[in-house]
Structure 1
């Protein structure tokens, strides 16, 4: 896609059938602006110029984010759980595949069949992460639902590429990203509170963030910790 310079920035400018202008900053710093077909150039320039500081901030965040490690799921690798690094110890042999956490030695013991592949070992570890989250989340909901003043009708855990959590307001159902098992526990709490707060306010507007200040005054610290991590290559940060 050809680049154009707007407000001193190189922009991928896309004109398409849509109602409003949309700005996206991607990992690596690429900037994409999508606008309605008949939007005047002057309006696009004004839109980008008004968000110049926001763009620079998110480009800097991407530049300082932790790279995603290349994992082979072999002994000696470090794998995180609730923000702490554990050494993976792989044991091959008969029996049910399983993971055992040893807090004393800071090790994760992964028991798998002798012929298991890296993909199969990754699946066993992912299932363990999911199990851990499903044990933690009910307690966090019981803790935070009275604070927020809203209750989730249901919840689930799934792998998501671009979001730490989502909320279906109509169904009062929240989803939490499986990757949260790897981040510090306060980050998981932040996402739980964030999604519950959407049951008060759908949009990320001043009212929403004011409620977050009320329910969890230190939410910015936990959000900043999550922003250090790439969920997936090319994961964008959007400004609507």
Structure 2
């Protein structure tokens, strides 16, 4: 018969093994990041004096986690440079004074208590009117909602202009939450979907994704014909793609992301 101490020792050993099985060290653009699958709802990044840590929902693959992390590389590099060796970076609560990244520009949040949700952008300030008892999650969702709406408006002139240039006319599109891709095109339905993460990016990068997806109306895969189309319409598309995927360090990125 096993003693209680032996059983406890085996249980602790099994727990540690299970945790190790759910944790993986990824190296993304030269940065080591510990990724752990947990019972959480969202993908979260945290930077401490010990390093970079990312927790992801159980159903998210490590490949999807890596793609998410890659979009945050500019922010990670910026924060690693700014961080005093012994201080943790607090998670954004979307409260007054917090900074957010909107269309490539850092803006400051101003939360105004109100019964109904509404918002305004005044210079470098995002004014969000939201109930006084709202939680950090409520404010995060409200910011995502306004980001989607603004992104849809931002995309419209690009879709119209490039639809005419490429001879495909007005193609309907939708902005939705997508964590593993910037956009997708359904050739049969002749419809395009864009990720709400594009709301963080500048117009130059949004335009790249628009052209990329419209090119799929002529070529489904990413072979030589597709690349030739991209070069024809957007000669610097490869540079834009690298910037979009976070391989170039951006300055002034928000600590809410």
Structure-2-length-normalised TM-score: 0.61
3-state DSSP class of the match of 1:200?
Answer: coil
Please give the per-residue CA displacement for 1:112-139, whole angstroms capped at 9, x wherever unaligned: 1110011111111111111112222221
| CA distance in structure 1 between the partners assigned to 2:139 and 2:117 by the alignment | 9
8 Å Cα contact 2:184-2:193 kept in structure 1: yes
Q: Which runs of 5+ in 2 are unaligned?
A: 1-24, 33-65, 77-88, 248-257
Match for residue 71 of structure 1 among 92, 95, 98: 92
Alignment match, 1:81:
102
Corresponding position: 1:204 with 2:218: no
3-state DSSP class of the match of 1:213?
Answer: helix
CA gap 1:27/1:144 in 2 versus in 1, 3 angstroms? farther
8 Å Cα contact 2:198-2:206 kept in structure 1: yes
Alignment match, 2:119:
99
| CA distance in structure 2 between the partners assigned to 1:153 and 1:63 by the alignment | 27
| CA distance in structure 2 between the partners assigned to 1:156 and 1:64 by the alignment | 23
Q: CA deviation at 1:91?
A: 1.8
| CA distance in structure 1 between the partners assigned to 2:210 and 2:182 by the alignment | 10
Please give the per-residue CA displacement for 1:184-239, whole angstroms capped at 9, x wherever unaligned: 0111111110000000100101110110000111212221221118xxxxxxxxxx
8 Å Cα contact 1:75-1:90 kept in structure 2: yes
8 Å Cα contact 1:152-1:173 kept in structure 2: no
User: What is the total number of aligned residue pairs between the two structures?
Assistant: 173
CA gap 1:118/1:137 in 2 versus in 1, 3 angstroms? same
Alignment match, 1:22:
none
Q: CA deviation at 1:78?
A: 1.0
Alignment match, 2:142:
124
Match for residue 113 of structure 1 among 128, 131, 139: 131
Q: CA deviation at 1:160?
A: 0.4
CA gap 1:62/1:164 in 2 versus in 1, 3 angstroms? closer
CA gap 1:182/1:228 in 2 versus in 1, 3 angstroms? same
Alignment match, 1:175:
193
Corresponding position: 1:159 with 2:177: yes
Match for residue 212 of structure 2 among 162, 176, 194: 194
| CA distance in structure 1 between the partners assigned to 2:127 and 2:239 by the alignment | 32
Structure-1-length-normalised TM-score: 0.65
Q: CA deviation at 1:67?
A: 4.3
Corresponding position: 1:134 with 2:152: yes
Alignment match, 2:231:
213
RMSD of aligned Cα (Å): 2.7
CA gap 1:201/1:140 in 2 versus in 1, 3 angstroms? same
Residues 46-57 of structure 1 correspond to what in structure 2 (within 5 A)?
none
Alignment match, 2:254:
none
